[in-house]
Amino acid sequence: MRGNLSVLAAFVRRDFSTARSYALPFALEMAQALVTLVLFFYLGTLVDGSRVSGGLGLQTSYFDFALIGLALFEIVQVTLVSFALKLRRDQETGTIEALLVTPARQTLVVIGGAAYDMVRATLLGALMLVLGVVLFGFRPTLSGPDAVLALAAAAPATMVFFAAVGISLAAFTIVFKETTAMVSFVAVGLALFGGVYYPVDVLPAGLDSLAQALPFTWAVDVFRAALLGGDIPAGRLFLLIGAALAAIPVAVALLHAALVHAKRTGTLAQY
């Protein structure tokens, strides 16, 4: 376990050292986050907050409703795309084979490639919540110990599940090479059907059912209920945890199969 953490820490240090030499992206990401919050703050002045409860018993404004969805989506989106993007970059720079012949497990190498981006996205999502408190009057309302426990369980479950999805997309990248469109499609689908901008119950019949079946929707509902004093959807929390536990072995199996296929066909470093 300690050895695995050391490998992940080494990847984080490597990517942080690279990112630190380019200061502009940090500033632009923070500026983009602030602009997004300003946009939704003023949009919220046009929306009746009583219409965004989503069956969770929320008493909140539209801005507070959207803020939690935006912060969580920032984290999940980066988690989804980073594995495939980093793997693709290593293929293009010719470093993928060198990384995979190191003593570290191949799965750990792929996970480590996206570890820094996941940390960065988590910090940016947290920063959005802080900006909401400091600049826009967002006031989280934890409803009690149940809310704290729900957050403590939902946060790692969400990260694990979408990391597993991201690893699966990386496996497709190894085999099919160009999967940018597919990764973008998944991210956009989550934004549209995951309840980031509006309650999913406003969607037409059929699409509503699809949205209710998405683990991202479960995560958003749990976070909103916990942070806005709503009714904790325990059923969705348990489904989210179960999905996370089931997704990891599937993702690892897909990645292993993709690596075996690429090595057998000699296409691992192709791009």
Q: What is the pLDDT of residues 29-41, one digit of tens each?
A: 889 999 999 999 9
CA 84, CA 99: separation in Å to the nearest integer? 15
Q: Is the Cα dihedral 205, 206, 209, 214 positive or negative?
A: negative
Res 104: pLDDT: 67
Say what the pTM is.
Answer: 0.87
Residue 54 reports pLDDT greater than 70: no
CA 74, CA 125: separation in Å to the nearest integer? 6
Q: Which of 53-67, 81-95, 163-177 has the lowest mean pLDDT?
A: 81-95
Res 30: pLDDT: 85
Res 142: pLDDT: 79
Please report, for the chain, the start and end positions of each structural domain, with discontinuous segments joined by +.
2-265
Q: Which of 226, 6, 210 is nearest to 103 (CA)?
A: 6
249-253 long-range contacts (CB < 8 A, ≥24 apart) are 250/164, 250/168, 251/163, 251/164, 251/165, 251/167, 251/168, 251/171, 252/107, 252/167
CA 110, CA 8: separation in Å to the nearest integer? 10
pLDDT tens digits, 98-128: 666 666 677 777 777 788 888 889 999 999 9
pLDDT confidence bin for 245, thresholds 50/70/90: very high
Q: How many CB atoms lie within 10 A of CB 110?
A: 28
**More confident site: 153 or 13:** 153
Q: Which of 83, 169, 147 is nearest to 121 (CA)?
A: 83
Query: What's the chain's average pLDDT?
Result: 84
Average pLDDT over residues 20-47: 86
CA 88, CA 216: separation in Å to the nearest integer? 25
Res 154: pLDDT: 94
Quote the percentage of the chain above a pLDDT of 70.
Answer: 90
pLDDT tens digits, 2-12: 667 777 787 78
Res 100: pLDDT: 66
Question: 132 near 217, Cβ under 8 Å?
Answer: no
Res 246: pLDDT: 96
CA 172, CA 170: separation in Å to the nearest integer? 5
26-62 core/surface letters (b: 16 or more CB in 10 A; e: else): eeeeeeebeebbeebbeebeebeeeebbbebebebbb
Quote the percentage of the chain above a pLDDT of 90.
Answer: 34
Res 175: pLDDT: 80
Res 35: pLDDT: 94
Question: 227 near 141, Cβ under 8 Å?
Answer: yes
